[in-house]
Chain A
Amino acid sequence: MRPGILNRLCAAALGVSVLASAAPAADTSRAAGPHMMVLPHFEPELPAAPGRDEFMMACLSCHSARYVTMQPLFSEQKWAETVDKMAKVYGAQMDAAQRQAIIGYVVAFNQRVAGLGAASDGDDQPETSATVPSYEETTPALPLAAAAPGQAAEIQRGAALFQNNCAACHGPTGRGDGWVAPALWRQPDDLAATRYSRPWLARVFWNGRRGTAMPSWRGLSPSDLAALASYVQTLHPPTTPEQPSAASLERGRQLFVQDCATCHGVAGDGLGPAAANHFPQPANFKLKQPDTALILKVLRDGIPGTAMPSWPQQLSAADRSVVAGYVRSLFDPPVGDPTR
């Protein structure tokens, strides 16, 4: 045996004995730091059919639609039992009308996938048709009364509701860093980085966000939803409004119309001609106002898992800054909204 190897063996033996006797705080014999992973996603396409929106809102919070696509052909009664189990046992959020729509949808979805013959081309990705009316358009949101001035008790109640219902994904302080967030396909909003108007929160609480894990929360009472909205509005710190020059706003408007309006709409209401096919739907800047830093981040990186691309190839840093100023100027909550 060569001396070098012998020395190393001695050192190794010594190391072991030192480890055993000195009892260091951390396990130095292996990688003691964080072990991490990023989960991939293989979420199936959802065929366009009545009830798709309700299915997206109630079911995808907790699991991929592969829970449906892997099942063999089942009867409507069997699917009704399954949907009821999801609601009663696991707490899936749905009212009676949503329940009926979900059952109809999974029955059709299941027939479409499980009905495929073995001799088919093996493609389990049903095509998506373009013409499904927007759920937000057909289902009005529950109006949420604003908290009366000084209603700290309501905000406190909202905070408790938030911890119980929202913190798992959005995090204890609403920063979008909840325990469940890393497993999600599309990441929860950082609620401190955007100013949300009351109508926006009402719409999202009532209808959920299709294409994300955000369910609809019709199981909560209107007064609970109002308290929750009051609390969420406190998460965004007050900021001093910036005053871009008229020239800058005009330049921003031109860029927005040219590059953003196809999806976000000329008015910035998220209802551009290409919006209907995107889940989640493009942001409505009239009802929510992201911070400049967030807009710049999104323009730089895009939003993974959505149709929002990154823009550095098309827009210079100066142009992106001008677009951010214009986007923020679009915020136009209704009269009386505390964010106005």
Chain B
Amino acid sequence: MVKKHAFSPGEGLNRRAFVRWLGAAGAGTLLGPLPARAGAPARGPADQLVRFPGKTDLILRVDRPPQLETPLAYFREELTPNEAFYVRWHLEGIPTAVDLNEFRLRLGGHVERPLTLSVAELRRQFEPVSLVAVNQCSGNSRSFFEPRVPGGQWKNGAMGNARWTGVPLRVLLDRAGVKAGAVEVSFGGLDRPALAATPKFGKALALDHARDGEVMVAYEMNGAELPLLNGFPLRLVVPGWYATYWVKALNEIQVLSERFTGFWMATAYRIPNTADGNESPDHPATQTVPINRMSLRSLFVRPEPGERVPANAPFELQGVAFDGGSGIRGVEVSTDGGATWRTARLDRDLGRYSWRRWRLTWQPPGAGTYHLRVRAVSQAGQEQTARLWNRGGYMRNVIEQTDVEAE
């Protein structure tokens, strides 16, 4: 059963209208075409909301294997509800049934004592740790690339912020006893391809990264078990790194004495070996590397695309900002197309891997169109760029722009 998500009490803002909107747009309903942002092509089919098991109404990108996007309004909260969290699988054979009495996580390879653990054993035998972290698809916002690139045509909703609870991978590796000479750790899940020729999904991390104490085998998301569509019963959590590494329905961990050469590292999810993953459509980079740490981003959550605001009355601009783990130093917003910038207020800090919500009260000084921009600076001093393009449609992190009508 789908649990209807209740908004937190402090978030009264437009709640009724939003719930009405959710109720009106039942599964299979076609919404009218949502207005695209300024600069984005306004062509193509309208967004459609659908309901999958354990999920509330999400934007349908692909039904098989599922790619479902979180509506922007859910990012008005610190943590993204499990039932609203986006969904993305690669292979047709996704796990549709998991029996905890039979499920086992296996940790083997270049170790002294291979481990076989049930979820109950993971919960009972190890001290749980929790951490709030953004999980963002490598291709989030791909539909805003220009020129456009093939792939999942996400808007900004292939991301979410959640509190993950589980066991640090380092603790499991230590119990298994990593042998000298190990270099990487690979991860596999329950999902399988339909065709034998299709490479099974798998990712790898350098041994030092896998043992950093923050990479986690999570069995809870926001205090509840993970939805099947988000990787129940176990998911690898790689804080600060793109979600392709957060292997879902994790059941296999292998310590390797050689570099991992699987397709999903060696061929797929590669980015140009350039600063910020940028390349030119006319002169694509010749060297690529596996995608890795998330770039600094800041996004508008309000106004939503096409939302109208009252002129000569206060309106609270809202959004989120995050990076790959240094944390957010500050967020600036422009309401005049970048001519002047004001500093936004930051909500409380939930940790350096969490996103930071920001707000800025703004009073449009008259009716008309306003060109809004937002940019962030990270604790590491990183700034956002004006332009980014690569052939995979990955790592979008440009200074966001949106137009809003005041009336």
Contacts and interface: CB of A to CB of B under 8 A. Distances in A.
B296 to A, nearest CB: 27
B65 A37 contact: no
A116 B54 CA distance: 33
B96 A82 contact: no
B93 A118 contact: no
A213 interface: yes
Interface residues of chain B: helix, strand, loop or mixed (majority)? loop
Contacts of A122: 30-33, 45-46
B338 interface: no
Interface string B12-54: 0000000000000001101111001000011111101011111
B43 A116 contact: yes
Interface stretch (B224-232, B340-348, B398-406): B224-232
A279 interface: no
Given A33-B100, A42-B60, A179 B27 contact: no
A168 B93 contact: yes
Nearest to A43: B63
Interface string B198-214: 11000000000000000
Contacts of B194: 61-62, 168-169, 180, 213
Contacts of B192: 168, 179-180
Given A34-B98, A37-B96, A123-B30, A70 B63 contact: no
A137 interface: no
Contact of B119 (A27, A73, A213): A27
Contacts of B198: 62, 90-91
Nearest to A35: B98
Interface string A301-336: 000000000000000000000000000000000000
Looking at B36, B98, B195, B196, the one whose CB has the most chain A CB atoms below 10 A away is: B195
A66 to B, nearest CB: 4
Interface string A171-192: 0000000111011110000000
A117 interface: yes
B11 interface: no
B120 A26 contact: yes
A89 B51 CA distance: 31
B150 A70 contact: no
A31 B224 CA distance: 12
B406 to A, nearest CB: 22
Contacts of B123: 27, 29
Interface residues of A, number: 63
Contacts of B52: 37, 39-40
A165 B61 CA distance: 29
Contacts of A143: none
Contacts of A29: 123
A70 B62 contact: yes
Interface string A271-294: 000000000000000000000000
Nearest to B154: A70
Contacts, number: 182
A26 B228 contact: no
A253 to B, nearest CB: 40
A122 B30 CA distance: 8
Interface residues of B, number: 61
Interface residues of chain A: helix, strand, loop or mixed (majority)? loop
A80 B95 CA distance: 32
A78 interface: yes
Nearest to B196: A164
Interface string A141-184: 00000000000000000000000110011000000001110111
Nearest to A86: B198
Contact of B193 (A62, A124, A164): A62
Contacts of A117: 43
Looking at B60, B61, B193, B197, the one whose CB has the most chain A CB atoms below 10 A away is: B197
B148 interface: yes
B42 A66 contact: no
Contacts of A215: 195
A41 interface: yes
User: Which 10 pairs across A and B sit closest by C-beta, in order of nearness?
Assistant: A91-B197, A27-B120, A124-B45, A37-B53, A180-B93, A64-B64, A182-B96, A118-B42, A42-B63, A34-B99
